Amino acid sequence: MGMKVRLKVVKADGSVEEYLHTKVIGAISNALAYDGQADTNVAEGLAEVVTYFLYNRKPPHTVTSGEILSIIKAVLTATEYEDAAIVLTEHHFNRKLKRSRTEVVSIDIQQLADAEMLYGVQQSPQRSPWDKSKIVNDLVTNYDVSRQTARTIASMVEEKIFSMGLTSVPTGLVKQLVLSDAAAFLRAQRQLQTV
């Protein structure tokens, strides 16, 4: 596209990363597919419109992830894909709802007594709200993983946690999922570099 200045995205947790056109393609493609209108060419074309708009705004060259979502929905609504915009909105609110209802419990389940503690039958361990950025920060700080890679791994873990339908998640499970997904992701990344 020949852009000289890279667009920065301010995420909901306050972190900043480079704008990725491919993420916009993915979001639009997923919304279209869920609505039964899967078409990669359409998703790529609509993503081009979003990216063009973002890069041709007046400075500053930062945008929030919420603004990107709004622009994507506006583009979908302005075309014949209003139902996909609705799907995207519902997905966004369902994700926020799941995040607000999920908590991490400081426990590593090894025995039945640990499981009883998880569900508050015995003494209740420390609980904290689900926060994907804690996984990101841990991977960046303790494992020297790039922030972009760490965000991808954290998203993979979050998706697994939410698909399990858990509202109380033991820290031991989070750690196992993070290490497993990190190893798989980094192995795949190395394999792509050798091809």
Residue pair 18/8 in contact (Cβ under 8 Å)? The answer is: yes
Omega before residue 129 within 30° of 0, cis: no
pTM score > 0.85 for this model?
Answer: no
Other CB atoms within 10 A of residue 40 CB: 12
Tell me, yes or no, whether 67 and 115 share the same domain. Answer: no
Q: Which domain holds residue 40?
A: 8-97
Give the percent of the chain with pLDDT over 70.
90
Residue pair 105/118 in contact (Cβ under 8 Å)? The answer is: yes
Other CB atoms within 10 A of residue 79 CB: 14
pLDDT recorded at residue 122: 55
Tell me, yes or no, whether 125 and 156 share the same domain. Answer: yes
Residue range 72-89: average pLDDT? 94
Please check the confidence at residue 123 and state whether its pLDDT lies above 80. no
Residue 26 lies in a domain: yes
Please check the confidence at residue 3 and state whether its pLDDT lies above 50. no
- pLDDT confidence bin for 41, thresholds 50/70/90: very high
Residue range 95-110: average pLDDT? 88
Residue range 31-40: average pLDDT? 86
Write the DSSP symbol of residue 166.
Answer: -
Average pLDDT, the chain: 88
Looking only at the bridges linking them, the beta strands covering 103-105 and 16-18 are unpaired
Residue 2 lies in a domain: no
Rounded Cα–Cα distance for residues 86 and 83 (Å): 5
Residue 3 lies in a domain: no
Under 8 Å CB-to-CB from 65, ≥6 apart: which residues?
9, 10, 11, 12
Residue range 36-59: average pLDDT? 90
